Amino acid sequence: MQIQVNTGNGIENKDTLERWADGELRQCLSRFVDEVTRVEVHLSDENHGASGAADKRCVMEARLAHHQPLAVTQHAPNMDEAFRGASDKLKRAIDSTLGRLYGHRNRESIRKDGDAIVE
């Protein structure tokens, strides 16, 4: 899985932030390493230094093998919350997409007792 982290203007400590984001994302998406070929992360400060309620933005796009790309966006008051929110959204989106593609066909029913009577 290839991860590319891009930072926009107004972001401080770009190198440190990029290394941290790469490690966090690899850990978060580790179970999808065989299905995800590439993830692009775009971190930006929409107000360029002026404080605001949700001026930090994180956009993530995941490229899945043999599937359309998935993209999510998260706005937050700080970069950490924006990144973590986007990574959680991306993880859920990938899980949902792959579950629809592969999971439902091979799963057993959650109903284990076929003789149960429902009244």
What would the pLDDT profile of 40-98 be if each residue is shown by its tens digit?
999 988 776 566 667 889 999 999 988 889 999 999 998 899 999 999 999 999 999 88
* Closest residue by Cα to residue 3 from 32, 35, 25, 30: 25
pTM of the model: 0.77
When divided into structural domains, the chain yields a total of: 1
User: Mean pLDDT over residues 15-29, rounded?
Assistant: 89
Q: Is 40 within the bounds of a domain? A: yes
| Structural domain containing residue 60 | 2-103
pLDDT the model gives residue 58: 93
Tell me whether residue 114 is in a domain: no
113 domain-assigned: no
CATH number at residue 28: 3.30.160.100
Residue 60 domain-assigned (yes or no): yes
Interatomic CA distance for residues 38 and 61, integer angstroms: 8
Q: Of 38, 43, 48, which is closest to residue 84 (Cα–Cα)?
A: 43
Is residue 35 situated within a structural domain?
A: yes
